[in-house]
Amino acid sequence: MPSPEQNNWRKYVPGGPSPMPPDARRRVLTFAIILFIIGFIVINSLFSTKNVKDLNYSTLLTDAKAQKVVSASLNNNTGVLTGQLSDGTNYSTNGPVPVLSDEIATLRSDNVAVTFASPSSLAATLLPYLIWILIFGGFMYFLSRQARGQMNGMMSVGRSKAKQFNQDRPTTTFADVAGYLGVKQEINEVVEFLKTPGRYAAMGALIPKGILLVGPPGTGKTMLARAVAGEAGVPFFSVSGSDFMEMFVGVGASRVRDLFSTARKQSPAIVFIDEIDSIGRKRGAGVGGGHDEREQTLNQMLSEMDGFDPAEGVVVIAATNRPDVLDPALLRPGRFDRQIVVPLPDLDERLPILEVHSKGKPLDATVSLEMVARGTPGMSGADLANLVNESALHAVRRHSETISMEDFESARDRVMMGQQRDSMVLHDDERERIAFHESGHALLAYVLDKTDPLHKITIIPRGMALGVTMTLPEEDRYIMSRQHLEDSLCMRMGGRVAELLVYGDLSTGAADDLQRNTELARRMVREWGMSKEIGPMAWGSNNQVFLGEDLMHTRDYSDHTSQIIDDEVERILREQESRAIEVLTLHRRGLESLTRALLEHETIDGEAAAQLIDEAHGEPVHPAGTRTVSALGLRRSSAKDVEGSSNGNVAPTPAPVPATVPTWQPPTLPAV
């Protein structure tokens, strides 16, 4: 932890120059001292040797006989002779010590003014030693300051690193958080309790000691906590779970004690712990009993929240996206009394989120944020913020003064499909194979009944894909039926089957499709009970287990059951492959027409693809209305559908999709 001296540099007058950190000041000061000493020595030597001519002693005596020497000054201590020649040049020479009296008499006889100098000043004698003493003393003082700072840091290592906010520093409020009315209501209840505890005390209500915000990444859990800091009229302490961990054993527990001790002194108060799963994992996890430092930190937190001396008037708000790994003692009532789920926003919540992030941006009059919200299912609040920012960047690249729907469309393609790779050059035969592959996906996405509506097809490489077929759900979906899953499997088989029908062989382009299909079919059999051979049983996935949770146990079924699961997965995938072959064979002309259009235009929207497939088929595949979504809009309906709804007639049913086997039905239960 930084020492008080190190923290002082952060205090400065607003609007003034930014102060320099103490470490930087020390480095600059040390460099300046060294530079001054070197400059002093160099300049002194330059001035001392300026216009001075070095002579040999015998040469000096010869020049004196030739009347070329005017004066000579003799240093009795060093024997150095300095003086001036007849041409005005200064000279210097080393004579014998002591100088012979005969030579002095000879110089005087040659009209040389001889003088004697005996410098015996104590300051001049001690000055060189004094300089080195000062340099050494300054160096030792610098080392002592460094050591004192390190000792202060070691002595304060157990102090909490929490940042304190008070009511004079509101940043984000609930008005800045769009949607999540239920979540804000529960959190605001805690804020109101801390502001006016008398109202709740009159009813005998106790304040919750802990609130756990649970949700996927990017849903705004930390922003909700910042809103609490802005709304609360009580001290607010914010700290990350990783701030408790240190290389010294016991530091985390000491910081927890210091945090709650500080919060008690200013109670009522709120403590926010972000990413609490970093210290709140289940105890005993890992080989050898787990991380002792982490477990001590967790034990101290459990004791502070509801132990022998619980923290009264202190509410703990924590956030995590991994509630499954938290210790059960942390989740029990009395510690975290409430678990508030912060899910991905639905349609009604995505629109206000987009409005918040679009505030202050020049939107074109044609922009419909409602259409953008409908075309972005499954996006979190962070994804929507990124989408708006990417659309603004795209508008700048177009040199446009406003953000249009085209910018939102391009931004969504970049977010969902990746950056367009214009530098990749494909051969003609590769482009044709990719076009057939994507056309197979697109045709099945349009023809099958339970797939998501077709939105866009492109053979321009984006991200890690050489081509993309994009579908969008019409509305938020929370559960999926078996028929929807089977149609999704069949649609992903479309690329592989199209290559097989056209070229008679396969390529590596279907690797990702096969991997996703195999995983989905395995979950249908193992987890969702969608196989009559397995029946109403479910087993967890084979993903990496959490250390300490059945470390050496990877499955809870026999080898015979494992073989049945593999057989059922294979059966489902082969059935859907056969189904895809039959549908693509029936619509072969539509497949070829769609491929030619892709090779010509490279990108086709869902409406144009539907028109090509209908024309090649000779009649609308879906008489009740096309199943496409174009330009971030809603599902388009045909004229027949509109007419049928206006005169009261029932719209015709969609054309049946051929299948090789009848749809599986659950067994009939016997009558009781």
Cα angle for residues 260, 261, 263 (degrees, 5° grid): 60
Kindly state the average pLDDT of the residues 562-567: 91
pLDDT at 493 over 90: yes
pLDDT of the residue at 463: 72
pLDDT of the residue at 158: 43
Token pair recorded at residue 10: 């952060």
Instruction: Classify residue 496 by burial, with Cβ atoms within 10 Å: 0-12, 13-18, 19+.
Output: buried
What does the alpha-carbon distance between residue 79 and residue 116 come to, in Å, rounded to a whole number? 10
Domain 51-120 has CATH 3.30.720.210: yes
Say what percent of the chain tops pLDDT 90.
13
CB atoms within 10 A of CB 92: 16
Which of 380-389, 438-447, 549-558 is the most confident on average? 438-447
Residue at token pair 């502070």: 304
pLDDT of the residue at 73: 77
What does the alpha-carbon distance between residue 114 and residue 94 come to, in Å, rounded to a whole number? 15
pLDDT of the residue at 666: 41
pLDDT at 489 over 90: yes
pLDDT of the residue at 643: 37
Residue 47's SS3 state is helix
Per the model's pLDDT, the better-predicted residue between 241 and 234 turns out to be 234
Average pLDDT of the residues of the chain: 74
pLDDT of the residue at 118: 63
Which range has the worst mean pLDDT, 163-167, 309-313, 560-564, 607-611?
163-167
pLDDT of the residue at 171: 64
pLDDT at 50 over 70: no
Cβ pair 161, 239 in contact under 8 A: yes
Kindly state the average pLDDT of the residues 547-551: 44
Task: Find the catalytic residue in 304, 438, 486, 568.
Answer: 438
pLDDT at 250 over 80: no
Which range has the worst mean pLDDT, 293-302, 327-336, 552-561, 610-619?
552-561
Kindly state the average pLDDT of the residues 334-340: 83
If we measure between CA atoms, which residue out of 629, 596, 588 comes closest to residue 502?
A: 588
Per the model's pLDDT, the better-predicted residue between 450 and 473 turns out to be 450
pLDDT band at 9 (very low <50, low <70, confident <90, very high): very low
**Annotated catalytic, 600?**
no
pLDDT band at 491 (very low <50, low <70, confident <90, very high): very high
pLDDT band at 51 (very low <50, low <70, confident <90, very high): low
pLDDT band at 7 (very low <50, low <70, confident <90, very high): very low
pLDDT at 513 over 80: yes
- Chain-centroid distance, C-alpha 141: 43
Per the model's pLDDT, the better-predicted residue between 168 and 324 turns out to be 324
pLDDT of the residue at 329: 84
pLDDT of the residue at 656: 41
SS3 content of the chain, % helix, strand, coil (to 5): 50, 10, 40
Q: What are the distances in angstroms from CA 30 to CA 135, 162, 211, 220, 657?
A: 10, 34, 52, 47, 82
Residue pLDDT, tens place only, 138-186: 777 777 776 665 555 444 444 444 555 554 455 677 777 777 777 888 8
What's the CATH class of domain 428-544+557-647? mainly alpha
Per the model's pLDDT, the better-predicted residue between 174 and 580 turns out to be 580
Q: What does the domain layout of the chain look like in residue ranges?
A: 4-45+124-155, 51-120, 163-341, 347-417, 428-544+557-647
pLDDT at 647 over 60: no
pLDDT of the residue at 377: 81
pLDDT of the residue at 91: 78
Beta strands 163-165 and 236-240, pairing class: antiparallel
pLDDT band at 128 (very low <50, low <70, confident <90, very high): low
Per the model's pLDDT, the better-predicted residue between 663 and 122 turns out to be 122
Cα angle for residues 326, 328, 332 (degrees, 5° grid): 115
Residue 205's SS3 state is coil
pLDDT at 594 over 90: yes
Instruction: Classify residue 179 by burial, with Cβ atoms within 10 Å: 0-12, 13-18, 19+.
Output: buried
Residue pLDDT, tens place only, 377-431: 888 888 888 899 989 998 998 888 899 888 888 888 787 777 777 667 778 888 8
pTM for this structure?
A: 0.61
pLDDT of the residue at 572: 93
Residue pLDDT, tens place only, 342-367: 888 888 888 888 888 888 888 988 88
- Phi/psi for 164 (5° steps) reads -100, 135
pLDDT band at 193 (very low <50, low <70, confident <90, very high): confident
What's the CATH class of domain 163-341? alpha beta
Per the model's pLDDT, the better-predicted residue between 544 and 461 turns out to be 461
pLDDT of the residue at 495: 92
Q: Which CATH architecture has domain 347-417?
A: Orthogonal Bundle (1.10)
pLDDT of the residue at 23: 59
pLDDT of the residue at 339: 84
Residue pLDDT, tens place only, 94-103: 777 666 676 7
